[in-house]
Structure 1
Amino acid sequence: MGSGSRIDHQHHLIATTASASISTSDDAEQFGVAEEQQRLISEILRLGQRVELGEATDAEAQRFTEARDELRSEWGSADVPSDEYRPPESAPGDEERVTQEARELEGQVLLGQATVEQTERLSELHERLQPAEDRAVQRAAAQQVLDEMLAEQQAAAALHVQARDRLPDEPAVSYEEDFDAFQRAYDAARERAARGEAAIPYLTEDATGGLGAREGGRAFGVELEFDVDGDYDTRREARERIALDMYQAGLSRDEGVHGYHAQQYAGYTDAANAWRMESDCTVSGEIVSPILYDEPATWQNLATVCEIVERHGGHASFRTGGHVHVGMHDYGVDVANHFRLMQTYKAYEDVLYRLAQNPGAPGNRHRGSEWCTPNRVPGHGYGDIYDVRESAYHGQAVNLTSARGRQSDHGEFRLWDGSLTPSVIQTQVKLSLGITAAAVRDAGSTQALAGGDPVQLGGHRQRLREAGLLGRRLNGEQWRTGTLNFRRLVDDVFHRSQDKEQATALFASTRWQRSGR
């Protein structure tokens, strides 16, 4: 199981380029601007983009004007020329009268009896009662945040275009159209397993096809939960030995076992020696990676960490989970990106939960969804970035509570079972990267995903049960139909043959899951 996610504290703040240290969420919010102000700014940015492109409806254009005026009125944004916005000044001796009038109007508002004009008058009086120096500070803070968000939005838009331009026009192979290509990859994985070899290949050079590249790709991070059999002292000693070996291997900066959420206070970095052992009350321990990129050293270090854990008795149990964090620096405040991401997840929900299973689990058992419940995706989409955060929250399969329209945004894929097999972890990382990237590529598309209704968790298993085919080997058209959702998934998120083959090997090593927990 495990509740070890760091999403509540901006775990793995993802930057577009390498840096020595990456700050926590508190630094990102250093100006202390009220959340309602940021929400208003996000709305202005979103609607302004539609107005500029000529795509806004009359209602949206009107709301854009109203929101901009509201920002100026409530926070006195400095983007308004000084001769256009000047808060009324009180004449000498008027302060007591203004205060009294404000109190009377506040009473009307509290009783729900105030008219629109009275409410507007109250806002005006509050502005007049505010010290001039406070108004200046608020205007400067509002403008600084607005400038910063505008700059990040422009950068996100540019990165969005670059992401689309980098993709090849046509994939190397389509598994939906070329069923034989899928079947060859599936059979090859089964044959490797039969020979006692690793069914899933582990790639170290250009493993993600640019999806996780330091330049032009997305950074990512992993959290690896593990269990150790035995009593409390046995588990504690194993954590200490693992932490010591990680330190001696140059993977961590100290040999200590850190407390839960310790990385939050230390800050995040992409340094290779920033792996960290943390305690977690739900499992024996959790290892938190630094910010990672698709480079040979990353995959070598991941393999070394897994080997160290297993050397000291650590294993992936039914309680453990694996969390993958993926950078969303190019998503911005355009919630069409977030909506397409969640549409993609929902269309392939059952396939993803199958691929989430730890292939080494006895009896092909899945850990369940207690700590990663299926997301509910609104059919009408999201109104703004705050709707995204409130809809896809911690404890669900896909967690987007870090979405703020900033370049430090990231998503967390929580549905993966715990695993200490590097090739399994790598494939799940690549699926997380691929889904995140595909959403940007296809944002705003009206094309349906998966060719019809989404297949929810447990859907394939239920269909097999109803047809009397559960537990039987499928052939012919039944097999084609049963694998179609998976084949469409890999076509949607991958362009290279080797990526589709690796995902197919994971598919061949897992089984459809039951619905519910």
Structure 2
Amino acid sequence: MHYRIRGEECRHIQAANIARGQLQEEYNIPDSPIGQGNININEALQNQQNMDQIAEENRRALTGEYEDEGHFYCDNVEEFGVALERLKNVPLPYDRANALNGSNITFGIELEFVDGDSDAIARELYELGIISEPRMVRYHDSGTPGKWTLERDGSVTSGRRGGELVSPVLRDTPETWEQIEKICEVAKRHGARINYKCGGHVHVSMEPLDTARQRWRRFFKAIKGYEETIYRASGGNEGRIRSGHSYYAMPFNERASYGTRRRVTMESESDVHSLVEDIGNRNRYYGINLTNIHRPDKPNTIEFRYFNGSLDPATIQANIKIAAGIIMASEKVRSKDLRDAPTPETMKRRGNMLNNARNERNNQSLMEFLDIFFSRKRDKEHVLGVLARNTWR
């Protein structure tokens, strides 16, 4: 059982206190000994434990068959240097199954592009059963559940050319990767291209973080400690992060640093809303956008806005791996054992590395980033291939 501490009490002690208070109110007994309500208290404790167990099992189910190869570039500096040079000119891989290392986490993407006949793109994708309308629709159109949309976007649309391809909720399935590949092929065939205006946003479910304050703290440490590396990886196929990032994907480092220091109470979903509203500063133009979480009309997702636009499936997949990898590592890595289970030594090592991250522009930061957030060498090489093609901002 994963006990989350709330101040000085765990939630199970709180459940007992709640039950005790209910008994006192029901029978008008001032400060009655806790033993007088054993049946109700035990029931409250058991109910809370059952809910905790179900919630934890659901979170663990997001991971599936997770592989940890125990490979660390930090132990193989020469190997890293050779790979960094070699991968500059090697085509990026594209996984058509198990791209996210067994994770069942949900995600979504937004692919901005310029030029191209938007209605022709929409029409062909509609005929293929991928999008909901055979034409470009208005910005933030409600669409059809399970279908993509091609929307107008003022930053990239001119007349009936340019737009934004917005996915439904996706998972790591062969169908997802086939759709992304087909969408990119169709868009490019009808003249779509990428320029400095285009972004490629990735939304990832916050479910692995839930109401666990240490997971949120590790997430903020990840952004605080490696934002410069994320910016470098975000260059995609363009060689460098787009010039407009200082407005559309502003640095989140200072907000993340505040998040690692802020006192946090995590009793309910409303506490999560208060946390992200405070840390996110109600501004959706940071590289990390948290504003969707506390809005009832939006899904509970963390949006990574850093990435340049791309119509290259392998680059898009690398972006998704980075975003999902950071979220999943924020759940898994830790420097100490859990109360109910030991933490693998590889995860402890990653946790200690995260605790000492410095957000520097050097190869040491690149190695640490890959070692913390990816436990399979093939994923490290995929992301390293993107890093190798790009320079620091």
**TM-score for both structures, normalised by structure 1:** 0.58
Work out whether residues 160 and 441 of structure 1, in 8 Å CA contact, stay in contact via their aligned partners in 2: no
Q: Which runs of 5+ in 1 are unaligned?
A: 1-44, 55-60, 70-78, 87-147, 193-197, 212-216, 229-234, 461-481
Q: 1:225 aligns with which of 106, 112, 115?
A: 112
Q: In the alignment, residue 318 of structure 1 is paired with which amino acid? A: Y
Residue 512 in structure 1 maps to residue 392 in structure 2: yes
Give distance in 2, aligned partners of 1:297 and 1:487.
Answer: 32
Whole-angstrom distance in 2 between the partners of 1:315 and 1:295: 26
In the other structure, the counterpart of 1:183 is 81
Q: Verify the 8 A CA contact 1:339 1:382 in the aligned structure 2.
A: no
Aligned to 2:156: 283
Query: What is the RMSD of the two structures over their aligned residues, measured on CA atoms?
Result: 3.5
Return the letter of the residue paired with 2:6: L
Q: Distance in 2 between matches of 1:326 and 1:173?
A: 26
- The one-letter code of the counterpart of 2:291 is T
The secondary structure found in structure 2 opposite 1:226 is strand
For residues 48-59 of structure 1, the aligned pairs below 5 Å read 50-52=9-11
User: What secondary structure, in the 3-state scheme, does the structure 2 residue paired with 1:84 have?
Assistant: helix
Q: What is the count of residue pairs matched by the alignment?
A: 338
Partner of 1:57: none
Mapping for residues 318-467 of structure 1, pairs under 5 Å: 318-360=196-238, 366-375=243-252, 376-377=255-256, 378=258, 379-383=260-264, 384-385=271-272, 386-392=274-280, 393-403=283-293, 409-442=300-333, 447-450=351-354, 452=356, 454-455=358-359, 460=361
Unaligned 5+ residue runs, structure 2?
29-46, 158-162, 265-270, 337-347
Matched, 1:486 2:333: no
Compare 290-299 and 423-432 and name the one that shifted more. Answer: 290-299
User: How far is the alpha carbon of 1:277 from its aligned partner?
Assistant: 0.6
Please point out which of 374, 378, 384 is paired with 1:498.
Answer: 378
- The 1-side partners of 2:125 and 2:63 are apart by 39
Whole-angstrom CA distance in 1 between matches of 2:194 and 2:263: 36
One-letter amino acid of the counterpart of residue 10, structure 2: V
1:323 positional shift: 0.8
Structure 1 residue corresponding to 2:128, chosen from 249, 273, 277 = 249
Deviation of 1:427 after TM superposition, in Å, equals 0.3
Q: Cα deviations across residues 257-283 of structure 1 (Å, max 9, x unaligned)?
A: 2211113xx4643xxxx1111111111
1:309 pairs, out of 187, 192, 199, with: 187
1:158 alignment partner, one of 57, 62, 73: 57
SS in 2 for 1:218: coil
Structure 2 SS opposite 1:176:
helix
Distance 1:484 1:223, change over 3 A: same
CA shift at 1:152, angstroms? 7.0
Query: 2:321 and 2:188 mapped to 1: Cα distance?
Result: 23
C-alpha separation in 2, matches of 1:438 and 1:511: 25
Shift of the alpha carbon at 1:182? 2.1
Q: Aligned pair 1:202/2:82, yes or no? A: no
Could you tell me how far apart the structure 1 residues matched to 2:284 and 2:191 are?
Answer: 30
Query: Relative to 1, partners in 2 of residues 1:260 and 1:80: Cα closer, same or farther, differing over 3 Å?
Result: farther
| Change in 2 beyond 3 A, CA 1:381/1:162 | farther
Q: Which amino acid aligns with 1:381?
A: R
Conserved 8 A contact 1:424-1:506: yes
Q: Structure 2 counterpart of 1:239, which letter?
A: S
What is the match of residue 72 of structure 2?
174
The offset of 1:452, in angstroms, is: 3.6
Equivalent residue for 1:297? 175
Contact persistence 1:204–1:295 (CA under 8 A): yes
Q: Displacement, 1:368? A: 2.3
Identity %: 26
Q: Is the 8 A contact 1:175 1:488 kept in 2?
A: yes
Aligned-pair distance for 1:183?
Answer: 3.1
Question: SS at the partner of 1:359?
Answer: coil
User: What amino acid is aligned across from residue 175 of structure 2 in structure 1?
Assistant: A
Which has more radius of gyration? Answer: 1
For 1:248 and 1:292, the matched residues in 2 are separated by: 20
Deviation at 1:444, TM superposition (A): 7.9
The CA deviation at 1:246 is 0.9
Q: Is the 8 A contact 1:322 1:418 kept in 2?
A: yes
Deviation at 1:504, TM superposition (A): 1.0
Name the aligned partner's letter for residue 485 of structure 1: S
d(CA) in 1 for partners of 2:25, 2:109: 53
Deviation at 1:185, TM superposition (A): 2.8
Tell me the TM-score normalized by structure 2.
0.75
